[in-house]
Structure 1
């Protein structure tokens, strides 16, 4: 059982996942600190209330503490924006990597594997035409 567990842990996907979780937690702490100590005071100056965590309103005697909710929304938006930037960058890199290369005249230069497959295709078409012509 220990050997199976060791094999499971040593797989790349598990290690990558663990690293992702650790980096994500550290990033979340950083975003929380930026929100609490930098953005909240700036927003507080604009709306006239220095500490957003004390922000509240009352309706029919019920008090709604919305300061922490505002902090959570700001944190969420920052994290989602960074995730969006990462995904967009990865998609562009993947798209750019799949494009064919171009020479200095702007002509597409196929990779050797594509050329080889095209030669095989052309050879099979040639053989098929000759077989068809030889039958009749």
Structure 2
């Protein structure tokens, strides 16, 4: 099998397509979370703690600038994304548990009539009528 054919088979598998879609949706979700953190949470948090804008917190060491505020924003974004993913996984696991608890269909026990007919059938098979 050629390398190209193996790669094509690998790339078009359902799992690979699902993964690609997940990455794209994840990137879009990341921009939404960035907007929520940058435009809503961080300004509100800044007001609560006295008007501090985290994105502007910079530590200067020599000529280097260390953007501590941007790091704090990144930690908040990560925490939000981790919490949302935790809730999604928790919901999926709950659905799986509920599906596992559903009763399994069982066949009812045969009636007396069915048992008798089965015995007659088996007896006829064992001793076929002679002509």
Aligned length: 104
Q: When the two structures are superposed, what TM-score results if normalisation uses the length of structure 1? A: 0.66
Q: CA RMSD, aligned part only? A: 2.5
Quote the offset at 1:25 in angstroms. Answer: 1.1
Please report the TM-score for the alignment, with normalisation by the length of structure 2. 0.68
Considering fraction of residues, name the structure with more strand.
1
Number of the residue aligned with 2:37: 35
Match of 1:86 in 2: 88
50-59 vs 4-13, which deviates more? 50-59
Structure 1 residues without counterparts, runs of 5 or longer: 102-109, 117-136
Return the alpha-carbon distance in structure 1 between the equivalents of residues 60 and 87 of structure 2: 38
- Residues 57 and 64, structure 1, Cα contact 8 Å, conserved in 2: yes
> Cα distance, 1:5 vs. partner?
2.5
Larger radius of gyration: 2
Q: Higher relative contact order by CA 8 Å / sep ≥ 6: 1 or 2?
A: 2
1:1-136 equivalent positions in 2, closer than 5 A: 1-56=3-58, 65-101=67-103, 110-112=104-106, 115=107
Q: Give how far 1:44 is off.
A: 1.1
